[in-house]
Amino acid sequence: MSKRIRTTKQATRARLTAQVRINQRKFTEAVELQARIVRDEQRRLFGQAWLDKRAAKKREGN
C-alpha cells in the first residue's frame, strides 16, 4: 500500500481542511448543547404545558 505523495501546498490545504472540519463539528456540538440547555431551562421555568401549547401552535402554523 503506497502512500500518496503530496506537495507542500496540498499537504497544507489538507491539514487546514481537516482542521476546519473539526472546528465546524465542535461549533455544531456547542450550539446543539446550548440549545438543549435553553430548552431544558424553558421547560423548567414555564412548565411542560406551556411548551406543549407553543408546539401545538407552531404545528397549526400560527
pLDDT, one tens digit per residue, over 6-45 is 799 999 999 999 999 999 999 999 999 999 999 888 888 8
- 1 has a pLDDT exceeding 90: no
Count of beta carbons in the 10 Å neighbourhood of residue 42:
13
CA separation for the pair 19, 13 (Å, rounded): 10
Band (pLDDT 50/70/90 cuts) for residue 2 is low
Instruction: Give the pLDDT of residue 58.
Output: 84
Which has the higher per-residue pLDDT, 47 or 22? 22
Q: Are 54 and 43 in contact (CB under 8 A)?
A: no
| Residue type at position 43 | R
Helix 48-60 and helix 8-46: axis angle, to 10°? 110
Domain locations in the chain as residue ranges: 8-60
